[in-house]
Structure formats: structure tokens, C-alpha cells
Structure 1
Amino acid sequence: MAQSKQQSIIKQMWVTNKSLQVRWLCELRSSHFHIPWWDGFKMANYLEMASSTDSEWIEVLCKEYQREVREYARWPVLLLQSNARRLVWAISGVLGVAARGVPGSSCRLLEHYLSRKIEQFFQQSRNTEEWDAYKNRLAARFILLAVSCIQLTAKMQDLMAPLTATLVRSSLMKEGIDLSREDIVAMEFHVFRAVDFTLPLWTSLEISEFLATQVGLVKRSILEAVGLITNITEFYRDELELQMKGWLTRNPAGTPVTTAPQRPSPDSVTIHNLHMCAGVVLATARYFRSQFPDLVHRMAILIRTIPDYIQAISDYVLNNVIEDTYVPTLKKRRLR
């Protein structure tokens, strides 16, 4: 496929995906809204967790956070920028899995895969020409890599129909993207093996919803909004990273305590998933003007981090992701 044709197809896929995002934001800002993907979600699942098992789930999330810390300290995890994130969202929409946090988690899986492969590449002495050639090979396989990460992430969710290679191929063929069934199967296994056959148990959207219930935000409307805002924050995560790196430079004492040293890199991931989800929950509560005293401190104690840090994430999400996201005004029809 010619490069220009492929870019045109991806652009059209993104335009369709963007229109759905705008519609969701319109619904969020109206007095009554309903998110399409909420139909398959049973709120009782989270309310049933309000038992003695809560502390166990928190322990699981904190252990996952510590695993992230060790991973980031071992080798920088490079952040996908906006164009790559758009592509992942667009492909997720084509494959019918653009809900339940799949696109955002797919981006993180792809980031970890790329970092693992780059680390392996530099374990041997390399020159500039070899590095340029390697980057070109990765770029040429990017769509196939993104598809594999989306497949793996979606299969971790409770989907009625798993994303088989045949289904993926036929869906992409309708958009003009031709991938062989053999390549899809082989790449999915290749990515899974590269990340040591280990995938996160929950998506960020599920983590946000769980954290919301733990601090008392159990109303359906708020939980719906938490899921929506998490999805949008994941999409703009590269901008959130840039903002928070600036905040940490100005507030070095606000850096969360970790168990391993960080390797600073301007293009690396620094915001851990648990912290981002906590910030989203706080921003949503503030947007709905929920009256919960000491919510920031309660959340910080729950996930064992610094209040000022998740407050700063919350500020950005509220002021930029929620308030400043452009939503066109719908014209009212004049009655005759």
C-alpha cells in the first residue's frame, strides 16, 4: 500500500473516532447523559467489592505500581506521541474495542514492548546507521504491532467475541489495510513473548472506577463520567506527561516516593497508571462538585502517595481535559 493512501485511510478512521469522542463530551456536559459502553457494565460488580476484599485489591494495584516503578528504573519506557495514540484509537474503533479502556492500555503495552526491544537492541554496540535502520523497521511494522497490542489487551477483558486473526483481518480489509492472517497470529505471539507473557489485570478505566467506589463516589452518573474522562485523559496522556514534568521541576518535593531510582528522560513515561487514575477520579468529583471532605488526602492515603502530586494531576485533567476540550455548539432548529 502506498504511504499516502495508508495515511489517508488512517486519517478517515481517526475522523470517525473523533466524532464519537465529541458526542460523548456533549453528553457529559448535558444534564443527563448515557455512555454507550455502559450497557455491558454491572455497577453491582464494584459495589460488591465494598467488602473485606477491598484491601486485597488495593494491595494488587500497589504491587502493580511497584512493578511499574522497577520497569521504569531498569530502562526508560518511551511515551507514544499524539499521532501514534490517534492511530491506536482509530484501529481500536475499527475493531470494535474502543471502550472499557482498551485503547489506552494498548498504548501502554505498545510502549513497554518498544522499550524492551530497544533495550535489547542496545545491549550490543551499535552505530548511527544501524539505529536508523532499526527505527525504520519498527515504523514499517507499527500498524501490525498496534493491532497485536489491541488484540492482547482486548482479550484480557470480558469480551463476548474474542478478536481472532480472521476477524481482525476482515475488519482492517474494509478500511483498506491488508494484513495476512499468518502475520497477525505471529506478531501477537511475538509481542506477548516480548513482555514475558505478562499483561496488566485491569485497564486504567477499571482502576479509576474502582478507586472512585473506594472514596465514596458510587453514583452511576459519576462512575459513568469517571470512565469517560479516563478514556479521554489516556488519549491526551502525552500532554499530561509534559505538564507534570514541568510541575515536578518546579516542585521537586512533590515527587512520589518510589522503591527504585528514576532515569530522567524527556520522552519517557513518568506518570504511573495508579496516580493518573487517582487524579482523574478527583477531577471528576470536582467537576460534579461532590461534597466529600478531605477527598484528596483520603485518596493519597489509599494509594500511598503524596497529596500534592495527585492534586496537580487532577488540576490538569479538570482544566484541560474536561473544561478546555473543544465541543461544537449544536444549533437549535427554529420552529416555524
Structure 2
Amino acid sequence: MKAIVATRYGSPEVFRLEEIPSPVPADDEILVRVRATTVSAAHSMMRQGRPLVGRLFTGLRRPRQAVPSTEFAGRVEAVGPAVTSFSPGDEVFGETGIRAGCAAEYVCVREGGALSIMPFNLSATAAAAIVDGGSTSLYFLRDKAKLRPGHRVLINGASGSVGTAAVQLARHLGADVTGVCSAANLDLVRALGADDVIDYTAEDFTEGDRRYDIVFDTVGKSSFARCRRILEAGGVYLTTVPSFAIYPQMLLTSRIGDKRAVIAAAGLRRDEEKTQGLIMLKGLLEEKLIIPVVDRTYPLAQIAEAHRYVDTGRKKGSVVLTVEES
């Protein structure tokens, strides 16, 4: 099969398109013919081996998994003899986490892995686009922050893959939503359901008068120290991006004070939790209560170009690699 391979950390030039053996499903595995996968900021960090602590999971000196990308949408090609929940021909979407392997024509996933039948009304491109942002946002807002109707939520990086999903999910869960992004994306974020939008190039949201129950920093461009003053008593600062400060802050605020700092690795959750999230997202997508946002698509062979674009920090929603025409 054709697959993207990277055997060292570095720039987008580390990627090569190669012919490698197709995986063979074990007794409890499903062989998925990949139609689409994604390139995200997290994948860029994994490509570079950053942060260094992340190499404990991805490989100390070189990538442990040579084939990158962690989200997929595609068709079940074959199943192992012990598989009962899926059949050849099923359209599925999901993620492989640190096992990666999705930037290829085929990937094997355990029947109990993080996957679900694909929403009937989405293309593979759209389905792959929502996996990371939707699953991550649901985990942080619903499970970590315990978002309730009436909460005031600020989402920093509201136009990215996690941010666009977070705006929609926070609104669906009953929050009053403020989105922070560049001027070029204000209309997009407003259209996704934000009650208020802030252009970060013109205004520092941490200096404003408004207070929030939740600040969700999806891009790691702020900090708990800067956002503390705009949090209500009992408020939570969430971030998806590791830093030297956030871990001791999380430990300290779990014991002292009435405002908390929280970071979590959504990709390291149990597969059962991820699957439950995907099933919920499937229902919301089929009812059109949330929509995927796709910025650009690239063919698999142009993964380096896709990474270079993601590295600019200017993408809106998701960047998708098409592996097979839907």
C-alpha cells in the first residue's frame, strides 16, 4: 500500500511517500480503507518531537510509529474472525491516538478502539475533519470543565480545528460563548454560534472587564496567570498545550484557591471514552446541530505542503488529506 513514512523528527521534508506492506487485521481488528485523514497543530508538534516530554509517548530519538496522522474516515475492507460489531462495507470514522498510522491507504483498528459508524450525511473529508476538534472539545468542556447551561465561556483560538468545534459544542450545551480570533475569522466564528467575538490583534481579552466561568485556550497562546483575573470564582482555565507552568499550576489550584488551571491529554483517554464521544458527535452531526469546518484539502502525497500550511498558524478549522476519492 501507499503510505507516508517519517523515520526522524524535523521539518515537513521528513515525510516520504512509500510502498509498504498492507496491515493484516488480527482476530479482534478491523481493516479500514482510509479515505481521509487530517493534519493538525498537534501533528506538527509530533512531527517535530515537541514538547520533549511528548517523546515519552512518540519515541525518544525518532518516531516510534513511522506512519503519521491519528484521525481517519473510510470504509471497512475486512474484519477479523472475532469481530461482531462491524462488517465489510461499513463507513466508519475514528482515531488511533499515539498509535498513529492513518496517513496510508489502510489502517487496522481494534473493534473496541475509538471508532464509530460515520454520520450518514457527511463525506469522508468532513467526517475526518471533525474527529479531533469535536472529540477534544467535548472532553474539555463537558467532562473537565463541567460546562452547564448559562455558563459564560471564552474560547481562545476559536477559528482552529478545536476552536470551531468548541464554539458550536459550548453553544449547544447552553453556554454564552465569546470567541477570540483574528479579524479575518470574526464572521466565521460568529456564524458558528458565538454570542460575542474579539479580534486579538486589536484587543487583549485578558484586560477586559467581562468575567467568565470557563476560559478554553485551544492554542496555548495565553496562560492561567494572565487569565486568572477574568475568571469568576469557581472558574476554570483549560488548555490543550503543555507548558512548564501549567502542571504545577494545576497541582496547586486543585488544592488552593477558587480558580483552577487544567490541562489534559485527550488523546491518551481510554478508547471506550473516545468512542462514546464519537457516537455523541455522530448524532449532533446528523441533526446538523454542529458542522465540520474544512479549510483546505491536499492529496496524501502533498502532506509536506499541508504541514507547511498548518505551521503558518493561519488555518481555519481543519486541514484534510484525501487518501481515496469519496
Task: Please classify the TM superposition score into its range, dividing by the shorter chain length.
Answer: under 0.3
Tell me which of the two structures has the higher relative contact order, counting C-alpha pairs closer than 8 angstroms and 6 or more residues apart: 1
TM-score (structure 2 length as normaliser):
0.25
TM-score, normalised to structure 1's length?
Answer: 0.25
Which structure's residues are more often strand, by fraction? 2
Q: Relative to total residues, which structure has the larger helix share, 1 or 2? A: 1
